[in-house]
Amino acid sequence: MTRRVASLILCGGVAVLGSACATKSFVQKEVGATESKLTQQMSATETKLRETSDRAEEDRQAIDVADQRLNGLDMRVGVVGARASNAETQANVATGTARDVEARLSQRLASRNRYRLLDTKVVYFDSGQTEIRRQDFNELEDAAKALTADPNAMLELQGFADSRGSDRSNRELARERVETVMRYLVQRHGIELRQLRAISMGKVTLGADEKASPETLARARRVDIRLLAPWSSWEDSQDSVSQREPTAGEPTATVTPAPQGPATMSALPADPMPRTQAARIDAPGRGRLPEFLKTITPRDLGQ
C-alpha cells in the first residue's frame, strides 16, 4: 500500500516535472517570438522615423527655398512699386508741363497783338532839312541790327518838325524825315517794310513855360525811333538767357504814338540860324516825296 502510494506520488511528481518543463519551453519559445516581433516592429519604426526625419528635412529645405523665393518676390514687388510711383510722378510732371504749355500758349494767343518797348532812339535834323546827319548813322545801324536779329520786331517811326511855319508844311516836312529814315533802313540794310511803321506827327507845340530857343527848336526837329517786339518773342529771349521775368511795374507797349518828348537823345545839332532870323520857318524840302516812291517796288509792298 505504501509502495503504491509512493509510486503514485513519484509518478505524479514526474508528470508535474515533465509538464513544467514543457511549459517553460513553450514560454521561452513564445517569448522569443514576441521579442522577434518587437525587434522587427522597432526596426520598422526606426526606419519610418528616419524616413520621416528625412522628409522633414526635405520639407524644411523646401520651405527655405520658398522663403527665399518669397523674399525675392517681395523685392520685385517693391521695385515694381517704386517704378510705378516714379511713373506716376513723371506722369504728374508731364501733366503739369502740358498744362503750363497750354497756359503759355493761351497767354501768347491772348497777347499776340501786345508789344514790349525794348529801346528808343532819336535822329535829329537840321533846320528845313531831311537828310540824315552823319553822327546819327550809328543810331540807325543799331536799330537795323535789332530788326535783323528778331524778324518779329518792328520800328515805330514818328516824325516831328519845330513849331515854326504852318501846320501843313510841318506835316510834310515831318513825313519826309520819316520817309528818309525808312528809305535808309530798306536800301542800306534790307529791312522789310512790314517791320516799319511811320507817321508824321507834324510840329511840336511848345509848352506854356517853354520859349522858342535854338535848343528847344533843335530838339523838336527829329524822328523818334521806338523798337518794339512781341511780348512772346521777348519772353523767349529772356528764357534763353535765363534772365529774370518781367516785374509787374515794367510797362508793355502797344503801337500807339509816343509822348512828344524823346526818351533818349543824341547830341543836339547846333542851330544854323542867328537869333536875328528866329522868325524864319522850318521850310519843307519840296520834290523829295516822288523820289522816295520811286525807290519802293511792289515786292517791298508785299504784292
101 and 156 part of one domain: no
C-alpha–C-alpha distance, residues 258 and 256, integer Å? 6
Does 137 map to a domain?
A: yes
Looking at the structure, tell me whether residues 98 and 125 fall in a common domain. no
Evaluate whether 116 touches 228 at the Cβ level (below 8 Å).
yes
| Cβ neighbours around 10 below 10 Å, total | 10
State phi, psi for 160 to the nearest 5 degrees: -135, 160
Asked whether residue 210 is domain-assigned, the answer is yes
Last residue of a domain, one of 61, 86, 110: 110
In a domain, 269, yes or no: yes
- What per-residue confidence (pLDDT) applies to 231? 79
> Which helix (H) or strand (E) is 91 found in, with range?
helix 2-110
Q: Domain check: are 90 and 155 in the same one? A: no
User: Which of the residues in the chain have pLDDT under 50?
Assistant: 249-268, 270-281, 283-290, 292-293, 301-303
In a domain, 250, yes or no: yes
pTM above 0.75, yes or no: no
Distance of alpha carbon 58 from its chain centroid, rounded? 61
For residue 140, CA distances in Å to 99, 143, 182 come to 42, 5, 10
The tally of CA atoms less than 13 A away on the side-chain side of residue 205 is 5
CATH number, domain containing residue 279: 3.30.1330.60
Structural domain that includes position 97? 53-110
Strands 196-203 and 154-161: parallel
Beta-sheet pairing, 115-124 with 222-230: antiparallel
* Cα 24 from chain centroid (whole Å): 110
E-only strand ranges, 147-192:
154-161
Are 167 and 275 found together in one domain?
A: yes
Q: What Å distances lie between residue 100 and 93, 94, 97, 105, CA to CA?
A: 10, 10, 5, 8
Q: Could you tell me if 103 and 207 lie in one domain?
A: no
From 64, 85, 110, the end of a domain falls on: 110
pLDDT for residue 232: 66
Q: In sequence order, what are the beta bridge partners of 224?
A: 122, 158
Does residue 249 share a domain with residue 138? yes
Residues 147 and 82 in one domain: no
262, 288, 266, 258: which is closest to 182 by C-alpha? 288
pLDDT at 56: 85
Question: What pLDDT score was predicted for residue 284?
Answer: 44
Closest by CA to 219, choosing from 163, 276, 137, 281, is 163
One domain for residues 62 and 181: no
Mark whether 199 and 263 lie in a shared domain. yes
76 found inside a domain: yes
Q: What is the CA radius of gyration of the chain?
A: 58
Residue 16 located in a structural domain: no
Beta pairing partners, 222: 124
Are 146 and 64 part of one and the same domain?
no
State which of 63, 83, 110 marks the end of a domain.
110
* Cβ atoms of residues 203 and 170 within 8 Å: yes
The reported pLDDT for the residue numbered 15 is 67
Whether 126 and 105 map to the same domain: the answer is no
- How many domains are there within the chain? 2
pLDDT in the model for residue 27: 75
Q: For the range 243-248, what are the long-range contacts, defined as Cβ-Cβ under 8 Å and sequence gap of 24 or more?
A: 246/116
Residues 196 and 140 in one domain: yes
